[in-house]
Amino acid sequence: MLSVISKNRRLYLSIQSTALRCREIVIGVITLLFGFPQHASALELGVGDWQAHGFVSQGYTLTSDYNFFGNSRGDGSLDFTEIGVNFSGHIQPNLLLAAQGLYRNTGGSDREDFRLDFANLDYHIPLGERATLGIRAGRVKNPFGLYNEARDVVWTRPVVLLPQSVYLDSLALRQAMIASDGGILYGRYAAGDHALTTEFLVSEPLDNTGGAAEFLAGIPNVRGEFEGRPLLVGRMGYEWQEGRFRLMFSAVDLDRDFKSTTPGVSSGNIQTFYPLASAQLNLESWSFTGEYGRITSKRSGFTPNGAVLENTSENFYVQAQYRFKSDWSALLRFDSFTADVNDRSGRYNAAITGLPKHNFYARDLTAGLRWEFQRNWLMAAEYHSVWGTALLSPVDNPGLMQKNGPERWDMLTMMISYRF
């Protein structure tokens, strides 16, 4: 265990030094951009409808007892940077090509730096007057819940962070959730104010990146490869008046074989099923949102006696947004994560693992403000009052598994963003 900690710390320090250089560049770029406020909303590439868009977002996080996105205690952390550039356009009126490159650094929770976020071709045909059928292939964004596809851009998030119980930003599962290499078949049927939408994805998940392997296997610092059946994601929804009211149901089904290359760790199989129900009401100045899901995972083959480890978590949040001026909005949210539905207080799991009870849940009360202070500029701030440590990154908190820290902690997170 000690070697694991020191390894994590070394990794953490090396992440910090590269992050430091990148951070200086980002702050420089933001200052430069602010000096020349542009009014272009997109970079029109001059050929047909080809456009380029981009964003630069820099965050600041200050926490009380634990670290979130870097070393955020004390003076806070600037390890929260998201930069992206994309282009899109039609080759044929119905054939779209789009791609996005992304740089992201969130301390120990995201060590990938640059990545190809998506690169896909999309073809759709009308079926009669009211229906559309389409196919999208390449590296595609996974259609899941209300926010998953565009969640790296603060402009698509309500304030700074998405509800962590459902969207899990600090855990290594994130990369596997966001995008994958494969194809999506989708359809839309609209009749007046009513529309039904559906998406179905079959793909090779990105579960060998971003530390997803060790997270899914549940064994720290384990090395190996995932292979096996492709990832399946489905989503269907009902929309009234272009989303003034919206109901959705999504499900992720993952069944992977883990081929261990670490001596002493056996290979095994992991099955994960994540159904999620979503509802949203959008009024002129108010929006109400709620999502509820459960993650069931079955791990087999990792223990010598061949026991199947099965666990179900509960993930949900309710949220209210109020747009009190055209460029200002406020948010109030309650977010809840329970690691094991059969042990809500964490008492049983604490007894068998020797960890504190609050390692098995997280309840987060959030209040936030968002201000688009100039066209293409956004400033946002959120205050979190959290009970429980289940959603903290073990990389950013090396002592999490040893020390008996407090159950309740606070977090202030802010972000400034420019986009074109």
> In terms of CB distance, is 192 or 263 closer to other proteins?
192
Closer to other proteins at the Cβ: 156 or 266? 156
- Asked if residue 323 binds other proteins (CB under 8 A), the reply is yes
Q: Which helix (H) or strand (E) holds 3?
A: helix 2-35
Is 257 one of the binding residues for other proteins (CB under 8 A)?
Answer: no
Q: Which is nearer to other proteins, 46 or 304 (CB)?
A: 46
Nearest approach, Cβ of residue 104 and other proteins (Å)? 13
Q: What is the DSSP letter of 230?
A: P
The residues, any chain, with a CB within 8 Å of residue 186's CB and separated by 6 or more, are 124, 133, 134, 135, 136, 143, 197, 198, 199, 200
For residue 96, the 8-state DSSP code is E
Is residue 320 within 8 A of residue 331, CB to CB? The reply is yes
Residue 250 binds to other proteins (criterion: CB under 8 A): no
Question: Closer to other proteins at the Cβ: 333 or 419?
Answer: 419
CB 94 within 8 A of CB 124: yes
SS3 helix, strand, coil % of the chain, rounded to 5? 15, 50, 35
24, 49, 227, 410: which one binds other proteins (CB under 8 A): 49
Q: Residue 377, SS3?
A: strand
Regarding 136 and contact with other proteins (CB under 8 A), the answer is yes
For residue 119, the minimal CB distance to other proteins (Å) is: 7
Element containing residue 414 per DSSP (H, E): strand 408-419
Stretch that binds other proteins, among 10-18, 186-194, 257-265, 336-344 (CB under 8 A): 186-194
Stretch near other proteins under the rule CB under 8 A, chosen from 67-75, 150-158, 390-398, 405-413: 150-158
Q: How many CB atoms lie within 10 A of CB 148?
A: 21
Per CB under 8 A, does 315 bind other proteins? no
Binds other proteins (CB under 8 A): choice among 153, 168, 172, 386: 153
How many amino acids of this chain bind other proteins (CB under 8 A)? 46
375 lines the binding site for other proteins (CB under 8 A) = yes
Q: Is 166 in the site for other proteins (CB under 8 A)?
A: no
From candidates 22, 29, 30, 51, binder to other proteins by CB under 8 A: 51
Which of positions 258-287 make contact with other proteins (CB under 8 A)? 282, 284
Question: Using CB under 8 A, which of the segments 20-28, 106-114, 236-244, 396-404 binds other proteins?
Answer: 236-244
CA distances from 111 to 70, 82, 154, 166, 395 (A): 11, 12, 19, 21, 10
How far, in Å, CA of 107 to CA of 170, rounded?
9
Rounded Cα distance, 68 and 330, in Å: 23
DSSP state of 155: G
The verdict on 24 binding other proteins (CB under 8 A) reads no
Segment 282 to 301, residues that bind other proteins, using CB under 8 A: 282, 284
In 3D, which of 121, 114, 66 has the Cα closest to residue 92?
121
Contact between 120 and other proteins (CB under 8 A)?
A: yes
In the complex, least distance from residue 23 CB atom to other proteins, rounded to whole angstroms: 23
CA angle 288, 291, 295 (to 5 degrees): 170
| Helix residue ranges per DSSP H, 118-185 | 164-167, 174-178
Binding mask 331-370 for other proteins (x = CB under 8 A): ----------------------------------------
Taking the alpha carbons at both ends of the chain, their separation in whole angstroms is: 47
Q: Which of 122, 207, 335, 364 binds other proteins (CB under 8 A)?
A: 122
Q: Is 252 in the site for other proteins (CB under 8 A)?
A: no
Q: Shortest Cβ distance from residue 407 to other proteins (Å)? A: 36
Q: Is 37 in the site for other proteins (CB under 8 A)?
A: no
DSSP 8-state class, residue 185: E
| 276: Cβ contacts below 8 Å, ≥ 6 apart | 144, 145, 166, 249, 250, 251, 291, 292, 293, 315
- Shortest CA distance to 120 belongs to which of 176, 203, 193? 203
x-or-dash pattern for other proteins, window 74-113, by CB under 8 A?
A: ----------x-x-xxx--xx-x-xxx-------------
Give the residue among 337, 342, 331, 296 at the shortest CA–CA distance from 316.
337
Binding site for other proteins (CB under 8 A): 39, 41-42, 44, 48-49, 51, 53, 84, 86, 88-90, 93-94, 96, 98-100, 118-120, 122, 132, 136, 140-141, 149-150, 152-153, 155-156, 188, 190, 192, 241-244, 282, 284, 323, 326-327, 375
